[in-house]
Amino acid sequence: MSSRSFAVDPKIEDYVDAVNAPEPELLGRLRKETSEMPRAQMQIGAAQGQFMAMLAKLIGAKRYLEIGVFTGYSSTVVAMALPADGQVVACDVSEEFTSVARRYWKEAGLDSKIDLRLAPAQDTLDELISSGQSGSFDMAFIDADKINVVAYLERCMKLVRKNGLILIDNVLWSGRVADPAASDEDTMVLKAFNPTLRERSDIDVLMLPIADGITVIRKR
């Protein structure tokens, strides 16, 4: 999915970027390098990154869990928002893409904050739970394969503390979730998944049309 919103006029997005806080130079370089790579559309936008960093600061987050790292924009921008003793646990399966992230983490002086786990995310999450880390994370971001979104959320519900936040990316899937004719597997998973959240009594939920859609969940 594109880091630009499919639903917002590009001129409006350019205006928002112009009046928001300037993107740090390092993140701008990371964005440029990623834009020239395969699957560059997976990178989140600058405004979304600032939104996530703001949420982390608002809740006083110290531990952040990320499922789906890609080249590291989201993990970098949130790690920058964490206090000096903050920690990121980052889950991915690609050595190629995360090697880019590692370079930028090191340059930003964030590598000591970030624990990269190269393994299937469900395995990593199960290991965190079994090692007694349930309820120890303040915030989680799910930005990986949509087929397993239910499994990722249920594990994050165990790992994130009460009143902590879970963010889920790409919930609008370029608008295909609202297209009755769209029937590919990812779209069908999201069509089934998205409406279930409002029926749950253990969370507060808000879907926002930022970039490709992001759902913000507060664990009650």
Mean pLDDT of the chain: 96
Give me 81's structure tokens: 């928002």
pLDDT band (50, 70, 90) for residue 3: low
Q: 104 and 136 in contact (C-beta within 8 Å)?
A: no
Identify the band that residue 5 occupies on the pLDDT scale cut at 50, 70 and 90: confident
Rounded to two decimals, the pTM is 0.96
C-alpha separations of 156 from 9, 78, 116, 137, 168 in Å: 34, 17, 17, 9, 11
Of all residues in the chain, the percent with pLDDT exceeding 70 is 98
Please tell me the predicted confidence (pLDDT) of residue 4: 66
What does the pLDDT look like over 28-61, one tens digit per residue?
Answer: 999 999 999 999 989 999 999 999 999 999 999 9
81, 56 in Cβ contact below 8 A?
yes
Q: What is the DSSP string of 151-207?
A: HHHHHHHHHEEEEEEEEEE-SSGGGGGG-TT---HHHHHHHHHGGGGGG-SSEEEEE
With cut-offs at 50, 70 and 90, classify the pLDDT of residue 72.
Answer: very high
CATH of 10-219, one of 3.90.79.10, 3.40.50.150, 3.40.50.300, 2.60.120.10: 3.40.50.150
Domain spans in the chain, listed from the N-terminal domain onward: 10-219
Structure confidence at residue 2 (pLDDT): 45
